[in-house]
Amino acid sequence: MNFDRALFQDPTFCGCGTSYQESRVVLFGAPYDGSASFRPGARFGPSDMRRDSWGLETYSPVLDRDLEDARVCDLGDLELPAGNTPLALERVEAVSDSILTAGKLPVMIGGDHSMTLGAVRAALKVHPDLHLIQLDAHTDLRQDYLGDELSHASVMRRCFDLLGKDRIHAFGIRSGLKEEFEFARSHGDLHAFTLEEVTSLRETVGGLPVYVTIDLDLLDPSILPGTGTPEPGGVTLAELLKALNFLSELKLVGTDLMELAPRLDPSGASTAVACKLLREWLLLLAPDPQ
């Protein structure tokens, strides 16, 4: 090449330009929103986060660490068939599987919450004693949504079908059917409304492998209005960051950040929140460079 590559912008998320081989943490987007019951738009989450990470520094003054040092690889976005959840889940499972098999940590950017099932299926194959930690506004425990068993409103129920009793730990939940709340209390580990009780995980999951799924509608809509089903009365960004700080000490084998629907918030503030959250989360997850 007779031109200077350095004159061009880097298209990866905020300094995550490490090659796949050298990386320890691997980012990929799952731009699917076919199962969104109220408002679609989460399909634009990964690409808009990548683009708007341009406005974010790679350095975190709170953690005093830099994402450019964190050996994260950004693979880009999966090509997923709109409106066909089973096929989309297969692709998410396949790439998660590859990353896990290579001994790396998969980090998925959604996309609607239904995609989490694919990543959990892959993680469960490698870690049969997997526990699932759900930070979310909604129970997502319906048996089906208007007959659809793969809806984002049913994703935790499908995970329950795989994991069984007492292995889903839910925090921040503030919306659902009465039956879903009852199911969550009898078959899972429900901590409604706040994140205060995440520290209980030290006892309940201890050193077991965990997958952490973050549905961004957990945050109050004043902080993140750009999501398909905004649910007023949520947690603050500081509360979520504090919880992630705690969670980073567990044995994490996979994680995701779902349900940013960026164009529903034309101000871009929602995307900025999601980007900053992902930077801090990646810095907490990535090992110190040598």
User: Does residue 289 touch its own copies according to CB under 8 A?
Assistant: no
Q: Which is nearer to its own copies, 229 or 255 (CB)?
A: 229
Place of tokens 């995440």: 198
Quick check: 44 and 91 in contact, CB under 8 A?
no
d(CA 244, CA 252): 11
Tokens read off for 92:
């998410």
Phi and psi, residue 215, nearest 5°: -95, 120
Give the nearest distance from C-beta 208 to its own copies in angstroms.
Answer: 26
Q: Which of 280, 287, 270 has its CA nearest to residue 42?
A: 270
Tokens read off for 55:
């406005």
User: Does residue 273 touch its own copies according to CB under 8 A?
Assistant: yes
Q: Which is nearer to its own copies, 17 or 76 (CB)?
A: 76
Instruction: Choose the binding region for its own copies from 127-135, 162-170, 172-180, 282-290 (rule: CB under 8 A).
Output: 172-180
Q: Between residue 27 and residue 86, which ones bind its own copies under the rule CB under 8 A?
A: 28, 31, 33-41, 43, 47, 51, 54-57, 59, 61-62, 64, 66, 75-85
d(CA 233, CA 236): 10
Instruction: Choose the binding region for its own copies from 120-128, 198-206, 247-255, 259-267 (rule: CB under 8 A).
Output: 259-267
User: Does residue 151 touch its own copies according to CB under 8 A?
Assistant: yes
DSSP annotation of 264:
G
Give the nearest distance from C-beta 255 to its own copies in angstroms.
Answer: 18
User: Does residue 238 touch its own copies according to CB under 8 A?
Assistant: yes
Q: Give the number of residues in contact with its own copies, rule: CB under 8 A.
A: 94
Q: Which is nearer to its own copies, 26 or 205 (CB)?
A: 26
Residue 99 parent element (H or E): helix 85-101
User: Does residue 186 touch its own copies according to CB under 8 A?
Assistant: no
Rounded CA Rg of the chain:
18
Q: Is 23 exposed, middle or buried (0-12, 13-18, 19+ CB in 10 A)?
A: buried
Give the nearest distance from C-beta 248 to its own copies in angstroms.
Answer: 18
Q: Between residue 200 and residue 229, which ones bind its own copies under the rule CB under 8 A?
A: 220-223, 225-226, 228-229
Tokens read off for 91:
């692709």
Q: Between residue 115 and residue 144, which ones bind its own copies under the rule CB under 8 A?
A: none
Q: Which is nearer to its own copies, 77 or 136 (CB)?
A: 77
Tokens read off for 23:
């990386």
Q: Identity (one letter) of the amino acid at 134? A: Q
Kindly write out the interface string for residues 3-22 of this chain, putting x where it contacts its own copies by CB under 8 A and - elsewhere: xx--xxx-x--------xx-
Interacting residue with its own copies among 18, 116, 175, 255 (CB under 8 A) = 175
Quick check: 258 and 134 in contact, CB under 8 A?
no
d(CA 237, CA 218): 10
Interacting residue with its own copies among 176, 188, 209, 254 (CB under 8 A) = 176
Tokens read off for 69:
């040092």
Kindly write out the interface string for residues 86-115 of this chain, putting x where it contacts its own copies by CB under 8 A and - elsewhere: -x---x--xx--xx-xx-----------x-
Phi and psi, residue 59, nearest 5°: -95, 135
Give the nearest distance from C-beta 207 to its own copies in angstroms.
Answer: 27
Residue 61 CB: number of other CB atoms within 10 A?
7
